[in-house]
Amino acid sequence: MSKLRMLTSALALGAVLLINPASAEEGDRSERRAAKLEKYDTDGDGKLSAEEKKAAKESRFDEMDTDANGSLSDAEVEAAKGERKAKKQARRKAQIDTDGDGEISKDEYMTHEGKRKGKGKKAKKRAKMLEKYDTDGDGKLSEEERAAAKADKKDK
């Protein structure tokens, strides 16, 4: 991998890690955004300007560039990925471990999995299908209702 490509990838990774962190819960995301805003919003206007975003990216790059040589090695990029993954796993574990004992019980796991059900693209698509084709309102698609959905799909 060329140094330019590696640098570009690392900067993109840094931007993703810093500017748009993924989170399982909106509360965590909001807290991280607020902390980032507090750290980098130098003019205090409540949002990050292009210059402030650039400074945030440069700061993240400098954090990842542990040997301070101005470029990121594969090892440094992998370490940054590992750090991000560890933080994400810790957040998720804290969300699931409702009693705070440091372990996830079967009940906690099952409760969490139950909450996850009904979220995401698949669930939204299913809800749309039910709304459109569940003519008898029983929350399920009968064979006739499925046939109508398939016929509409073929017509498109």
| Longest Cα–Cα distance in the chain | 67
Number of domains in the chain: 2
Q: Model confidence at 19, in pLDDT bands (50, 70, 90)?
A: very low
Q: How high is the mean pLDDT of the chain?
A: 80
pLDDT digits (tens, 9 = 90+) for 81-110: 999 999 889 988 888 888 989 898 888 888
Residues 93 and 75 placed together within one structural domain of the fold: yes
User: Given phi > 0 = left and psi -120 to 50 = alpha, else beta, which region is 2?
Assistant: beta
pLDDT digits (tens, 9 = 90+) for 27-64: 577 888 888 889 999 999 988 899 999 999 999 999 99
At 44, phi and psi to the nearest 5?
A: 70, 25
Residues 108 and 134 placed together within one structural domain of the fold: no
Residues 88 and 59 placed together within one structural domain of the fold: yes
Residues 32 and 58 placed together within one structural domain of the fold: yes
Residues 6 or more apart in contact with residue 125 via CB below 8 angstroms = none
Residues 17 and 64 placed together within one structural domain of the fold: yes
Residues 82 and 45 placed together within one structural domain of the fold: yes
Residues 111 and 124 placed together within one structural domain of the fold: no
State both tokens at 21: 């962190």
Looking at residue 96, what is its pLDDT? 87
- Residue 149 is part of which domain span? 120-155
Residues 109 and 126 placed together within one structural domain of the fold: no
How far is CA 126 from each of CA 62, 113, 137, 149, rounded to the nearest angstrom?
45, 18, 14, 12
Model's pTM, two decimal places? Answer: 0.47
Residues 80 and 40 placed together within one structural domain of the fold: yes
Residues 49 and 69 placed together within one structural domain of the fold: yes
Looking at residue 62, what is its pLDDT? 93
Residues 19 and 52 placed together within one structural domain of the fold: yes
Least confident of 3-12, 53-62, 145-154: 3-12
Residues 98 and 124 placed together within one structural domain of the fold: no
